[in-house]
Amino acid sequence: MSLESFLEALAEDANEVDLGDFFEASGLLPEELVIFARAWFGFTVENQRWIIATMAELTEDSSEVDFSAVFRMCLKDKDEEVLEKAIEGLWEDEDRAIIPGLIQVLHSDKSPQVRAAAAVALGKFPALVQEGKLLAKDGDSILESLMDILKDSGQPLEVVRRSMEAVAPFNTPDIRKFVTRAYKGDELLLKSSSIYAMGRTGEVSLLPVIIKELQNAEPSIRYESAHACAELGDEDAVPHLVALLDDDDYQVQLAGISALGKIGGPLAKKVLVNCVKDGDAVLEDAARSELENIEFLEDPMAFTSEV
């Protein structure tokens, strides 16, 4: 099937289009994007939403597809459902070219949910700036845009918390003040985000605070504390994460397994092996996946998926 045939099929009856046919829209060249765009603006909004959602789902499930050209085109879409899915679809796109579009959405009059998604998407770039993979001016632009949100008391809670998480790796004194204030405040969602942000700052000195919160009565706090431990990557957290595998909350259990896999080390591997042997089906699969990641990071050439 050609790209043109695929687009014609979408226009006639999208429900009859096979998911495998979406490969025709993968890795579009500039001239092919023109053809796609011409057809796209002739689709109904409902059809556009279904197409972009399907592309986002396929992107998450497979590394063999590349709909980034379509997602970038949709960063200026007027429909918020399309826009949000396009932002989600760009979760692995590290091209600096998408930064201005995300910043524009962040400071737009779109819904808090869409603007928060833009903040999350911007959150992958600070580490790239620090690794020298992006220009310093890109980092300055992202830092300024996210800090403007944090300094504005009229911003919606969801946008503020996601902006705090996103900007945390820059770890400036002002950022640390915002994180501390959110941690000490009464708003549960902000406190959860502040703990995750602590991990993203890279400040190992904050590990005792995070470890303490692994025992918090609120599942959301324990969940974010596990992810914060993973972000810091310090093996001192491993013994404290082990207890999460018996947590009453299933998502907290999975967060503990994920953190053990990201931190690695002898104890983490031992715990994950035991989980593969004794855990339920979902926890067993999660633990096996993390063990595979550890083995690959330790020795990519000798990596085997037979755990």
Instruction: Compute the average pLDDT of residues 231-256.
Output: 95
Tens digits of residue pLDDT in 39-97: 999 999 999 999 999 999 999 988 889 999 999 999 999 999 999 999 999 998 999 99
What residue segments make up the domains of the chain, in order of their start? 203-307
Q: Write down the pLDDT at residue 183.
A: 98
Tens digits of residue pLDDT in 198-219: 999 999 999 999 999 999 999 9
Let me know: does 190 contact 161? Beta carbons within 8 Å: yes
Q: Write down the pLDDT at residue 302.
A: 56
Q: What is the DSSP letter of 96?
A: G
Q: Give the rounded percent of residues in the chain with a pLDDT score beyond 70.
A: 97
DSSP per-residue letters across 271-290: HHHHHHHHS-HHHHHHHHHH
How far, in Å, are 108, 129, 208, 228 from residue 193 at the CA level? 22, 22, 17, 10
Q: Which fold has domain 203-307?
A: Leucine-rich Repeat Variant (1.25.10)
Is it the case that residue 152 has pLDDT exceeding 60? yes
Is it the case that residue 134 has pLDDT exceeding 50? yes
Let me know: does 82 contact 74? Beta carbons within 8 Å: yes
- Which of 238-242, 272-276, 293-297 has maximum average pLDDT? 238-242
| 303: three-class secondary structure by DSSP | coil
305 vs 75: which has the higher pLDDT: 75
Q: Which residues contact 306 (CB under 8 A, 6 or more apart)?
A: none
Q: Write down the pLDDT at residue 151.
A: 96
pTM to 2 decimals?
Answer: 0.89
DSSP per-residue letters across 12-36: HHGGG--GGGGGGGTT--HHHHHHH
DSSP per-residue letters across 212-242: HHTT-SSHHHHHHHHHHHHHHT-GGGHHHHH
Looking at every residue in the chain, the average pLDDT score rounds to 93
Tens digits of residue pLDDT in 7-16: 999 998 887 8
Tens digits of residue pLDDT in 19-50: 999 999 999 999 999 999 999 999 999 999 99
Residue 180 exposed, middle or buried by CB count within 10 Å (0-12, 13-18, 19+): middle
Q: Write down the pLDDT at residue 59.
A: 94
Q: Write down the pLDDT at residue 1.
A: 75
